Structure 1
Amino acid sequence: MNQNFDIIIVGGGAAGFFTAINSVEKNPKLKVAILERGSEVLQKVRISGGGRCNVTHACFEPNELVKFYPRGEKELRGPFHQFCSGDTIEWFEKHGVELKIEDDGRMFPVSNSSQTIIDCFIQATQKLGIKVLTGQSVQSIFKKDSFWKIETQSENYITETLILATGSNPKIWEMLQNFGHAIVSPVPSLFTFNIKDSRIKELPGVAANVSVKVKDSKLVSSGPLLITHWGMSGPAILKLSAWGARILNDKNYQFTIYVNWLNDVDAEDTEKILKEIKQEHAKKAVSKKSPFELPNRLWESLVLASGIETETKWADVSKIQLQNIAHQLTNASFQVNGKSTFKEEFVTAGGIDLKEINFKTMESKLHQNLYFAGEIVNIDAITGGFNFQNAWTSGFIVASAITN
């Protein structure tokens, strides 16, 4: 028995729900179903942002917002002019969810719970009569005349308009390849660096504002760096991993990074500052207190790595040792040996080739009435609410296109 719908959305995540709700709000006559392969919907929404759901980012200028997307920067400019982060805030407010801005620009529900977002979506689908069908793993997709036929393990569905919002699902990508779509092979995008090094071994939990670069590449990043039990994490590292997703994959995650613990102060200026400190604090122990905006424990570790013993006074530091400290502070090299990814925050670079999508409508350029929303396409962002913003924007654009 075939089940007929005007619109079928495959994927019960953020992009799928947002597309469905906006479509029926724009045209209440539409008969819409969401097919979800799992037993639960909106799982990524539930666990994102540590269970608080980082809905978007307080960057309201489309031309600035696109800069947070290592893949998709050029393509998203038009879409963000149609639906940007300000529109997201307004949309959620209209649906009874107030958002707040944190110091770093990330935006969360005032309730601090992702359940608020889930409840908002579930209530909207119930109110609008959208069918949410779980346990529907798509086995095959056919095109017949002007209709799409979708077979799951238990049902057959027929629809005029098919929207795929399945994120990084290799099985769906494979089906799309059979329809002639090119898929950019997926590689991990947000990950931390595994580093075993005596300078940071005893310092898990210590953070500093740094700049980092990858040796023999143009990859650079700055921001907070967090030392962990397994190496280095924090925004500076995650940004580097996103922008360098392909390059670092090619290096098999074995590479050297240079860390400037003073962010933008170079070795020469650092040496001058150290010489002044040497004169002013001649009788004090070098390792006792950091003269820079650095945690004392990190300073102490870098002093030791420069060949200066714990009790050494500033007066006794040689010119070579001063140069060594300046080097450790501004150009310390660390060997990265592997990566760590967090399952719940997992983002991949890869997906449908962007050249095959019309970004005014998010429709396939190869097949009429086939649309894409969210991470199924080769777009991804750094952390901070940007991946969700891509889900809301693409979902809104699809909904506008199919209801016009």
Structure 2
Amino acid sequence: MTKIPSRRPRGAALRALCALFASAGAIAPSSATAAEVEVLHYWTSGGEAKSIAELKKTLATKGVNWKDFAVAGGAGENAATALKARVISGGAPTAAQVKGPAIQEWGAEGVLANIDAVARAEKWDSLLPPAVAAVMKYKGSYVAAPVNVHRVNWLWVNPAVLKKAGAKAPATLAEFFDAADKIKAAGMVALAHGGQPWQDATVFESVALGVGGAEFYKKALVQLDPATLAGPTMVKTFDTLARIKTYIDRDAAGRDWNLATAMVINGKAGMQFMGDWAKGEFTAAGKKPGTDFLCLPAPGTAAAYTFNIDSMLMFKKSRADDQKSQLVLASAIMSPAFQEAFNLNKGSIPVRSGVPSAKFDSCALQSMKDMEASGKAASFVPSMAHNMAVGSAAQGAIMDVISRFMNSSMSSKDAAAALAKAAKTK
């Protein structure tokens, strides 16, 4: 990342702002101020757009106008490029959808706002799981507000397709291949997929978790242990992936993830590996879990949970009014009402405690239960494919290897060796 000059807020303004939040607890700005936040994000699909609309509504009730800067692209590559350009030019937005190790990378550039004032006033440390709070901080201070928790290792299934093919919902990899064979034989697409690097990596990490388990996953895709990356379990992972890719249709190249989800919704395909943001598409289409679609842990991964946490990273602003509006935004994101409304639309689950669960469906309740269980079992692991596990350079190199494997006849042994080499990228 290119080094960017730091611009620090005036101490008096910051101290006054901290005093305001610590003492008054009143987050809304003065009605006389034309308060505004410019937010760079990549929530652009149907379910995602409904979710972001909830945040706009919440801010409007607090007297803050939302200036939208939406950049399409499922995994945020385009948004990351746009954000870098804005910050380098000296025109950083109020906030941007950024997550995982990238938060620390931006922190090192000296361009982030400290939002401890609102975090302390609202006791975020007691509301968030410690692992989540740590991701939202840079050098001990909050710089980002977490929006939700996504489970990545889901398999989405159309039960009508299963019935037509005479197949059953799979819990293991062996059952997955049996179901896929039957769906394919019945003349339908067994696995809906979009041939984009981040989607390839999403399938790969769920397969790695299913083949090797949580400890293998952590050693390989979080710790980047060379021996594990090049070892026999990784070779087996690629062997499994090689078989899986035979069930993907020839038109998958470049397909957006939500279009692949639509294939499952419309009965053109039977299954899809995708995080629980896919549920937002089913919900937006009026489909009901357990009846119109099934949400299952990816085969072999029921005891583990790969997480992806969306967050809004706050950038330094020189004007006191902008700083105030920024804290309004952070407070709104963490409010129970917004966490409930946003996650009901998005398909994810609330990141903070104290949010009622009565309105959440069976998929979300299962996600909540599995997140708690995996946390206790040390199988709550960050998603490599979704920017939570490793730095951007290593992640990019790893994803390049996975995509090459998905689009060539590369052997599993060669792929594992290439993966170990790629992980050394700094």
TM-score (norm 2): 0.26
TM-score (norm 1): 0.27
Q: Which has the larger radius of gyration?
A: 1
Q: Larger % of helix: which?
A: 2
Q: Larger % of strand: which?
A: 1
